[in-house]
Structures are given as C-alpha cells and as structure tokens.
Structure 1
Amino acid sequence: MKSCLTALTASLVLTTSNSFAYTPTSSPEGMYRTFEKNYKDMALATCITAAYKYDVNVGIDAGSSVSAMRDWTYYDMEKSPLAVKALVEKYLARDYTNPLAESQIKGIKFDLLKCLDMYHSKELDALTKKVVTHPNQTYMQNIKKP
C-alpha cells in the first residue's frame, strides 16, 4: 500500500510540474473574428502606432498588429487608408488637458484614451459600414470555401 501511495504521489508531482513548465503555442484569434471587428481593431492599432511612434518597441508591435489585421479583413483599399489616417489624426489632435494629472506628470497627453475614444466612436462605426465588405464574415470562413 505504501509503495502504491508513493507511486501515485510521484506521478502527481511529475504531472503537475510538467503542466506548469509547458506553455502551448497559440495563434492569434483575429482570423476567427468578423471583418467588421478586425477593421475596428486595425484602426485602434493604427492609432496606437501613430500615438507612440517615438517608442520603437510599441511602434513595431502595434505596426505588426496592423499588418496582421489587414490580412484578416476585407475592405475597400482605395478609400480606407486615408480615411483611417484622417480619423486617427483627428482624435490624436484632441486636447484632453487635465490640470490635476498635468501637475503630477508633465506632458501627459492621454493618447491611449484618445485612441479608445476613437475605437468606440460613431465615426469609426460609420466608416466601417462604408468600407468593410461582408462585415459578418471571417477570414477562416473565406479560406475554407472551395
């Protein structure tokens, strides 16, 4: 009985320690989201890229995310890039001055807040409806079609 209990304990220890050490590879989930959602996500990533263009790491990561979203979204390539750029510039130009925060952190611009406001805006909703074709389809639905 004691050897059986020892074997069971050893088995549990080995199984448990392996489960924490192993991190499975995962894939981005954007390819399963609708074109509408991916387009809005792409606009948000574009805003973050523009807002933090002087931070190389953020710029590279956000810019790479924009590229991935472009691959997983169908939209009017002629109208969209300039329209998204104009919308991003409009929101990043907003003045979100907060005297209390400014007294503690000099030069704070609230750029992420501006990008989030753009992401939830009626303007982005309207642009998305205008340029995204088949808004409820997904990339994975398209590649599985014969």
Structure 2
Amino acid sequence: MKKFKLQIIFSCSILLPLISQASTPEAVNRTFIENYKDMVFASCITKAYKGNKDVEKDTGSSVSALKDWIDYDIDKSIDKEIVLINSYLSRNYFNPLAEREVKGIKFDFLKCLDLYHSKDLETLARKVISNPNEKVAKD
C-alpha cells in the first residue's frame, strides 16, 4: 500500500508542471456570435475532411467545446447549419491552373472560409443566438 501511495505522489509530481502550464482556450472571452461562427467553421472543416481521423478528432472536439461557450437555440440551428455547410461545400471552385498542378483539388478549406465570412452565417447566427454580444466570461 505504501508503494502504491508513493507511485501516486510521484505521478502527480511529474504531471504537475504539465497541468500548471496548460492554457485556457480564449473562446471563453469571445462573444457568443464569434464562438458560434467558429463552431460552424470547425463543423465545415470536419465535414470537408471527413475520413481524416486526426482532423475529425481535433475539429470535432473543438466543436463540442465551443458549444459549451455559446448560448443559442440548437434545435433551431442544427438543420440550418447542415444545409449552409453543404451549400458552401458543394460550390464549384474549379481552377484549371491549379488543377494542372494538383489533380482533384476542391478548395474545401477556402469554401469553409467563405462560409465563415458570409452574410448567410451572420444572418443565421443572429436568428439562433438571443444575446449575440454576450460572453461566457463576464468582464
């Protein structure tokens, strides 16, 4: 039992520097509307790069975290988010010069950026967030 306690103390002492250096995501200091747009952008990236497990894991986790920092009507939002993401990802950004260099290039990241900066997303965000300029962290 004494050996077990020593192992726990030793493990904690090794992990303490890692824990104390961990940062808090800055999303807690952003407005609900900023976090909502970030969440939709991350969802777009997740869908665009479906099949890439590393991207899916990271962006999916980020989407989940961002949902905790937004006060919005998820029931009103989810279907509209999906439609909006699909409409941007289905755009044809064909560029013959780029296609010569990289076959099958789709510019999905660019499409997600265009969605992120779009009036469509701004309009949706304002419909589903009752207090868009509020933050989780109060100043």
Structure 1 position 42 matched with structure 2 position 39: yes
Structure 1 position 90 matched with structure 2 position 97: no
The runs of 5 or more residues in structure 2 that have no matched partner are 1-17
Q: Which residue identity does 1:98 align to in structure 2? A: N
The runs of 5 or more residues in structure 1 that have no matched partner are 1-21
Q: What pairs with 1:9-20 in structure 2 (closer than 5 Å)?
A: none
Percentage of pairs with the same residue: 52
Aligned partner of 2:122 in structure 1 is: 125
Q: Which residue identity does 1:26 align to in structure 2? A: S
SS of equivalent to 1:106? coil
Q: Distance in 2 between matches of 1:85 and 1:65?
A: 17
1:25 to 22, 27, 31: 22
| TM superposition shift of 1:38 | 0.3
Query: Deviating runs (4+, > 3 A) in structure 1?
Result: none
Q: Distance in 2 between matches of 1:105 and 1:139?
A: 43
CA deviation vs aligned residue, 1:51-70 (integer Å, no higher than 9, x gap): 00111100110011100110
Aligned partner of 1:116 in structure 2 is: 113
- When normalised by structure 2's length, the TM-score is 0.83
How many corresponding residue pairs? 121
2:101 to 94, 101, 104: 104
Aligned partner of 2:75 in structure 1 is: 78
Q: Distance in 2 between matches of 1:132 and 1:42?
A: 13
CA deviation vs aligned residue, 1:3-43 (integer Å, no higher than 9, x gap): xxxxxxxxxxxxxxxxxxx9932111101110010000001
Q: Which residue identity does 2:118 align to in structure 1? A: S
| TM superposition shift of 1:139 | 1.1
| TM superposition shift of 1:88 | 0.2
Q: Which residue identity does 1:114 align to in structure 2? A: K
Q: Distance in 1 between matches of 2:40 and 2:27?
A: 14
Larger radius of gyration: 1
Structure 1 position 136 matched with structure 2 position 129: no
